[in-house]
Structure 1
């Protein structure tokens, strides 16, 4: 039985403010294979690592992200909301965030609002492209990625494609499941088709982790990394190799 690769969802988001350099450093400290992060564009065209459509939840500012200039975003405190010791943590520009990944961790770029070609070029300039992949919930961004950046590996969701055959037809490299659509047959079919299997789960139900281990999911896009490793070790002790 193989050990699943860990993808830290928004970085080590339980111990540091999500989508910050601090959360990236936490993911590296956890020994993660990859860091998942979100990308948005400022009003004046600068790419940032940020999740929400507005800055209200995770900074001391207010307003739509895309309406703010880079100068305004650079001035935001993106850490105090999480804990006092992170006061002054900034919303990272994508270039700085990627610089901190080089030679240390693979990258999973979820594009919320950005040109996938610009993302691809920034990854390639740092020799990160080989281990990188991307996804977007925005259909137009997914289409642009397929058409314009074929060398940036793409992930699809089972909930979007509904079959392994559709994932293959879209030239996906990774097929991600969630707890509601995971099954041994689907995972095995994906592997047989040459797809990497991944699961997203931001909860901590051990039964969900047990299924992921039992079915042989190859990559876990999760928040509760240490709990998953505990469950994985327990399952390995009782399941056949």
Structure 2
């Protein structure tokens, strides 16, 4: 079986604070092909790589990203909460984060709150648009992306679309499963019509990884990269 492509969820978030330059460097060091990250917009229109709408969980600050200025966000420590050795990590500005991806790793941009056209253009200026893709849990952002920037590759969730046919109708490039809705038959159906198959799983159950490998999932959006590679290697060595 072909080895699956690794997407480091929020970077190497097992070993470094999520959505920081440290977690990006960790993903590169792991040999991941893709880094997944989240985007919010500051009060003065600057795009940042951060998961939550508030800074409270992953920085030493408090408040909503959308209500803070870029100077306020730039001053926050986004590493000490994870471990003392990461003190001084900052919330990355998206432009600098993408600069650090060029020639090293493919960006997978989950838009929490940002103009998809702005994200698309930032990728295009760096030669990253062809391989990158995007997703949003916000249906309005998903619709806007499809309508305004159709050349920005998009993934859809199986739990949202409910069928391979619907994913094709929405002109998706990637169909992402969760463990509870993954079957070998549906994954094969998706691949047969040209969709890239992907699974998101933030846990560490080897049984889930085994099911993904046996289903021929092409991209793994995960935290536990080393464990997945162990499971994959065991299965491939037997089947090979």
TM-score by length of 1: 0.99
Looking at structure 1, the residues matched to 95 and 64 of structure 2 have their Cα atoms a distance apart, in angstroms, of 21
Partner in structure 2 of residue 14 of structure 1: 14
SS of structure 2 residue aligned to 1:130: coil
Partner in structure 2 of residue 76 of structure 1: 76
Partner in structure 2 of residue 198 of structure 1: 198
For the pair 1:98 / 2:98, whether they are aligned, the reply is: yes
Looking at structure 2, the residues matched to 131 and 16 of structure 1 have their Cα atoms a distance apart, in angstroms, of 25
Instruction: State the 1:94 CA deviation.
Output: 0.2
Looking at structure 1, the residues matched to 165 and 74 of structure 2 have their Cα atoms a distance apart, in angstroms, of 44
Q: Which runs of 5+ in 1 are unaligned?
A: none
Instruction: State the 1:99 CA deviation.
Output: 0.2
Alignment deviations for residues 66-107 of structure 1 (CA, whole Å, 9 cap, x no partner): 111001000000000000000010000000000000000001
Looking at structure 1, the residues matched to 30 and 221 of structure 2 have their Cα atoms a distance apart, in angstroms, of 13
SS of structure 2 residue aligned to 1:27: helix
Q: Which runs of 5+ in 2 are unaligned?
A: none
For the pair 1:129 / 2:123, whether they are aligned, the reply is: no
Looking at structure 1, the residues matched to 237 and 41 of structure 2 have their Cα atoms a distance apart, in angstroms, of 46
SS of structure 2 residue aligned to 1:62: coil
Give the total of aligned pairs: 240
Instruction: State the 1:143 CA deviation.
Output: 0.4
SS of structure 2 residue aligned to 1:39: strand
SS of structure 2 residue aligned to 1:197: strand
Looking at structure 1, the residues matched to 146 and 53 of structure 2 have their Cα atoms a distance apart, in angstroms, of 24
Looking at structure 2, the residues matched to 138 and 76 of structure 1 have their Cα atoms a distance apart, in angstroms, of 27
Partner in structure 2 of residue 170 of structure 1: 170
List structure 1 segments (4+ residues) > 2 angstroms apart after TM superposition. Answer: none
For the pair 1:120 / 2:120, whether they are aligned, the reply is: yes
Where do 1:49-88 residues align within 5 Å? Answer: 49-88=49-88
Partner in structure 1 of residue 214 of structure 2: 214
Looking at structure 1, the residues matched to 237 and 11 of structure 2 have their Cα atoms a distance apart, in angstroms, of 29
Partner in structure 2 of residue 31 of structure 1: 31
Partner in structure 2 of residue 189 of structure 1: 189
Instruction: State the 1:16 CA deviation.
Output: 0.5
SS of structure 2 residue aligned to 1:153: coil
